[in-house]
Amino acid sequence: MVKLHQPTSRKRGRLGLSWQSLTLASMLLFSAFGGAIATKESKVDHTKVENAMDEKQPVKKFITSAYVYDHAGLTFSQRDAGHLDQMNYSFALIKDGKVSGAHWKSIKQFHAFIKANPHILPVLSVGGWGADGFSQAAFTQEGRRLFVDSSLELMEQYGFLGIDIDWEYPGSSAAGIASKPADKENFTLLLSDLRAGLNELTRKDGKERKLCIAVGGTVSATELIENLQVSELVDQINLMTYDMQASNLATHHTNLYPSGDVYDASVDTAVEAYVEAGIPREKIMIGCAFYGRVFSLKGTKGKGLYQPSRSPASNAYNYGKLQAVMAQGEYERHYDEEAQAPYLVKAGTFISYDDPDSIKAKAAYVREHELMGLMSWEYGGDPSGDLLSAMYEGLNQP
């Protein structure tokens, strides 16, 4: 059974923030049917009332999306097609100011899969960790024009009906990329120009185009973009709620809720931070990890969680490898009920990851808080399709 939590007021010790749960004010309806009040002069048509009550309210559609990392030998399973609404092909890069896919190795296979499954929305993802060129392109009007024109050209060439901008991160050179103090404002200008370009394509052929962005899954990441302005321009905001681990402790890296008072990064913490910053809930996608982060522990006693680690968990196992590791019986599996997150432990090693249970908990959270849906990094890490199936089934409960 999935354990549902409500957002709670927690002292965010590590991040120095305090959050208050958002409360929806109750709405007093003047009348359920057209504002009419029965009086001596006004009669209610009970047949119409009964018919209106019988009409089913439209069911909200939650989105299941997967990033697809381009590499040689990329394959797709038709088994997964029914569990997907959207796929983000990753990544186009910026070369000499232009968005390019010249380095792609498996775009033909992706195109064939989408052609066979036209219900899946194909999205072009630009950037990724360590991808340079955004700051330079966004800095001038001419640079933005070149970026937008080349993006639209690449979308048209391969039939993409959406674009996802994954700039990691405006104003930051953490990955060794160029950055400028004006990146935050220039990012908004870049998205505005891109939105205008997409709208022009739609005006010409009638096909809707989706504009998405990927953003950091931490409270501090909310300060890197102009949230209110950006939210008016984009259709979807992908919260990268993975790799949230601490640098010197064995912690969860993609947990739904904080656990204990040691470290408080979590999906819920990130969602509430973005909502408080002005992002509409209905545009938020939360991330699922199709991989685990591996920590080397300094000690060999205990369950591993929150023990000092020798490294910042730079090593990763995809879910296919984790399934093989678990089948060997060397690791002991634990499930943190408070965090709604699993982990594996053996002497000296701790692995934080997502599994079907934690993903269904995330899906229940999406439904409960009326977010847009779930996204995952990345499709190739789940060869069995178990995690993708859990995403879809969790979001589409009757």
Cβ atoms of residues 376 and 290 within 8 Å: yes
Angle among Cα 27, 32, 35 to the nearest 5 degrees reads 95
Q: CA torsion, points 97, 236, 374, 367, in degrees to nearest 10?
A: 170
Helix (H, G, I), strand (E, B) or coil at 68: strand
Residues 5-34: what's their mean pLDDT? 35
Cβ atoms of residues 182 and 156 within 8 Å: no
What is d(CA 213, CA 222) in angstroms, rounded to the nearest whole number?
13
Q: Which domain holds residue 189?
A: 59-289+354-395
- Is there a domain that residue 306 lies in? no
| Secondary element (H or E) of residue 327 | helix 319-327
What is d(CA 286, CA 371) in angstroms, rounded to the nearest whole number?
8
Q: State yes or no: pLDDT of 295 exceeds 60.
A: yes
| Residue from 239, 232, 124, 139 nearest 189 by CA | 139
pLDDT in tens, 232-248: 999 999 999 999 998 88
pLDDT band with cut points at 50, 70 and 90 for residue 14? very low
Angle among Cα 262, 267, 270 to the nearest 5 degrees reads 90
List the catalytic residues.
168
- Is there a domain that residue 219 lies in? yes
CATH of the domain at 228: 3.20.20.80
Helix (H, G, I), strand (E, B) or coil at 154: helix
- Is there a domain that residue 162 lies in? yes
Residues 6+ apart with CB under 8 A from 79: 385
Q: State yes or no: pLDDT of 18 exceeds 70.
A: no
pLDDT in tens, 301-352: 667 999 999 877 879 999 999 999 999 999 999 999 999 999 999 989 999 9
- Is there a domain that residue 184 lies in? yes
Total domains in the chain come to 1
Share of the chain above pLDDT 70, in %: 84
- Is there a domain that residue 75 lies in? yes
Q: What is the largest CA-CA distance in the chain?
A: 82
Residues 6+ apart with CB under 8 A from 119: 85
pLDDT band with cut points at 50, 70 and 90 for residue 55? low
pLDDT in tens, 157-184: 999 999 999 999 999 998 999 999 999 9
| Residue 376 backbone dihedrals phi, psi, to 5 degrees | -140, 150
Averaged pLDDT of the chain: 88
- Is there a domain that residue 326 lies in? no
Distances (CA, A) of 153 to 110, 138, 161, 197, 201: 18, 18, 12, 11, 11
- Is there a domain that residue 311 lies in? no
pLDDT band with cut points at 50, 70 and 90 for residue 56? low
- What is residue 177's predicted lDDT score, i.e. its pLDDT? 98
pTM of the full predicted structure? 0.86
- Is there a domain that residue 131 lies in? yes
pLDDT band with cut points at 50, 70 and 90 for residue 57? low
Cβ atoms of residues 293 and 316 within 8 Å: yes
Residues 88-92: what's their mean pLDDT? 99
pLDDT band with cut points at 50, 70 and 90 for residue 58? low
